[in-house]
Amino acid sequence: MSSKTSARPNQKWVVFLSTSVGTAIEQYDFLLFGVLAASIFSKLYFPSFDPLMGTLASMGAFAVGVAGRPIGAVIAGHFGDRVGRKSMLLVSLITMGAASTAIGLLPTYESWGIWAPILLITLRLAQGLALGAEQAGASILAVEHAPKELRGLYGSFPIIGSYLGALMAFATLAIMALISGDSFTTWGWRVPFLASSVLLVLGFAIRSRLDETPAFEALQDNKAKNPLMEVIRSSPKQLIVASFIRFGNFGFSTIIMVITLSYATTVLALPRSVILNAISIAAFLALFTVPLIGYLSDKFGRRPLIMCAALCTIFFSWPYFLILQTKDTVWITCAIVFGFAIITPLCFSVEAAFFSEMFAARTRFSGVAIGQQIGSLVAGTFIPMFAPLALAQTGGDPWPIALFSTAMGCAMALAVYLARETRGDALDPGAKLLSKRAMVS
């Protein structure tokens, strides 16, 4: 492969650091809110509601961030295809860091009244806009810098960052939860958010050293005038495939990271630390499974690994909740590790290369961003609202959540079945990598 389509020698480590560390920072910020929405924010920002409605309101604030991601994806997709990948990643990093720091400084309902939850939701929306830009941008940047035979491995770099961010978030909260008395509720939860300002400076320093991708530079005058409309007209099936795959995998990940904590602490009366520690262990192990899976996709293809993730989601959803109900710390940790360090990485590690290879360079940012975030929007807004209501209706029995998780796995499997293998496809600017014959009718 020519130098125009692979990483320059002095940029390889910069690519790794800028995509993994930058994504880690943004994922850290985003997940902090999700975890605290399930356990703290309902009391601090929605205290006038009864416990169920307070939980729904705080989870609704979490869902606002997910809802903002497709908006961020559309905006970043347009400018990412018109202006460049690197500039959008810098903007997303600054937006996320500023919003998270502001959350750490935000007064509670007791001090500011109704303005406190309004500002909390506004800042959460800003987080969603930033992450909608970050996930697609980092993935594309890594893949477009990669040698042809290592796109899966390079594409896993941002996913390493995502799990590193999860590890940072859950480990930090686990440590802060050790604070005695009510200190965690009053001020301890703010510390991780305020740390975002330091992480922002670090991430910006690393990311600003990165070159623009060779594929984007080669576009020159071949850039799409309206990337959103062009990708909708030229690649509707690719968008559907990407959305269904992301819907299933992101949904299952949300159940593990967000719903499990709420279910375990409110229904099973387990200590918060049991789940936080288990997810921290899983996130640490995923730092090793993610690049391995990305590399395996370069050897064996993208579809087999994603199909494996879909089948595991289908068949593990019910045993997962049965294991949680044992209240056995060891078994719960094993279940969360299997789901978070193996099942979800089987898809997340491969997505970057698989989705990037589906779309032409001139609309790649828009295509990947919109495909990812449509799926994230459906799963990430529905599940946090659906789960508390389902548990309330069933008296704490999680079977509706397990049933929905199984359905998400089926959606993933269908999407993979309809797609074709893309490993080895060209990333030539303007090339239409998935023709009408690329999908099984």
Domain containing 198 equals 12-213+223-438
Q: Burial level of 329, CB count in 10 A (0-12/13-18/19+)?
A: middle
Number of independent structural domains in the chain: 1
The C-alpha angle with vertex 173 and arms to 329 and 350, in degrees rounded to 5, equals 80
**Which residues make Cβ contacts (< 8 Å) with residue 99, sequence separation at least 6?**
29, 123, 124, 126, 127, 130
pLDDT recorded at residue 54:
65
Classify residue 430: in a domain, yes or no: yes
Classify residue 6: in a domain, yes or no: no
pLDDT recorded at residue 53:
66
Higher-confidence residue of 439 and 363: namely 363
Higher-confidence residue of 22 and 383: namely 383
Amino acid at 152: G
**CB of 134 closer than 8 Å to CB of 96:** yes
CB atoms under 10 Å from CB of 322, counted, come to 12
Q: Burial level of 249, CB count in 10 A (0-12/13-18/19+)?
A: buried
Percent of the chain at pLDDT above 70?
90
pLDDT recorded at residue 151:
95
Largest alpha-carbon pair distance within the chain?
63
Residue 179 has pLDDT above 80, yes or no: no
pLDDT recorded at residue 436:
36
How confident is the prediction for the chain on average, in pLDDT?
86
Structure-block tokens of residue 66: 């997910």
Classify residue 218: in a domain, yes or no: no
d(CA 212, CA 308): 34
pLDDT recorded at residue 1:
40
**CB of 353 closer than 8 Å to CB of 294:** yes
Whether pTM > 0.75 for this model: the answer is yes
pLDDT recorded at residue 431:
42
Classify residue 4: in a domain, yes or no: no
Classify residue 1: in a domain, yes or no: no
pLDDT band at 109 (very low <50, low <70, confident <90, very high): confident
For 234-264, how does the pLDDT look when each residue is reduced to its tens digit (9 = 90+)? 999 999 999 999 999 999 999 998 899 889 9
**CB of 326 closer than 8 Å to CB of 110:** no
d(CA 189, CA 212): 37
pLDDT recorded at residue 321:
96
Three-state SS string over the chain comes to CCHHHCCCHHHHHHHHHHHHHHHHHHHHHHHHHHHHHHHCHHHHCCCCCCHHHHHHHHHHHHHHHHHHHHHHHHHHHHHHHHCCHHHHHHHHHHHHHHHHHHHHHCCCHHHHCCHHHHHHHHHHHHHHHHHHHHHHHHHHHHHHHCCHHHHHHHHCHHHHHHHHHHHHHHHHHHHHCCCCCCHHHHHHCHHHHHCHHHHHHHHHHHHCCCCCCHHHHHHHHHCCCCHHHHHHHHCHHHHHHHHHHHHHHHHHHHHHHHHHHHHHHHCCCCCHHHHHHHHHHHHHHHHHHHHHHHHHHHHHCCHHHHHHHHHHHHHHHHHHHHHHHCCCHHHHHHHHHHHHHHHHHHHHHHHHHHHHHHCCHHHHHHHHHHHHHHHHHHHHHHHHHHHHHHHHHCCCCCHHHHHHHHHHHHHHHHHHHHCCCCCCCCCCCCCCCCCHHHCCC
Classify residue 154: in a domain, yes or no: yes
Structure-block tokens of residue 234: 């030229």
Classify residue 317: in a domain, yes or no: yes
For 120-130, how does the pLDDT look when each residue is reduced to its tens digit (9 = 90+)? 889 989 988 98
For 304-349, how does the pLDDT look when each residue is reduced to its tens digit (9 = 90+)? 999 999 999 999 999 999 999 999 999 999 999 999 999 999 999 9
CATH of the domain at 171: 1.20.1250.20
How far does CA 78 lie from the centroid of its chain? 20
Amino acid at 234: S
Classify residue 33: in a domain, yes or no: yes
pLDDT band at 438 (very low <50, low <70, confident <90, very high): very low
Q: Give the residue-averaged pLDDT of 406-421.
A: 96
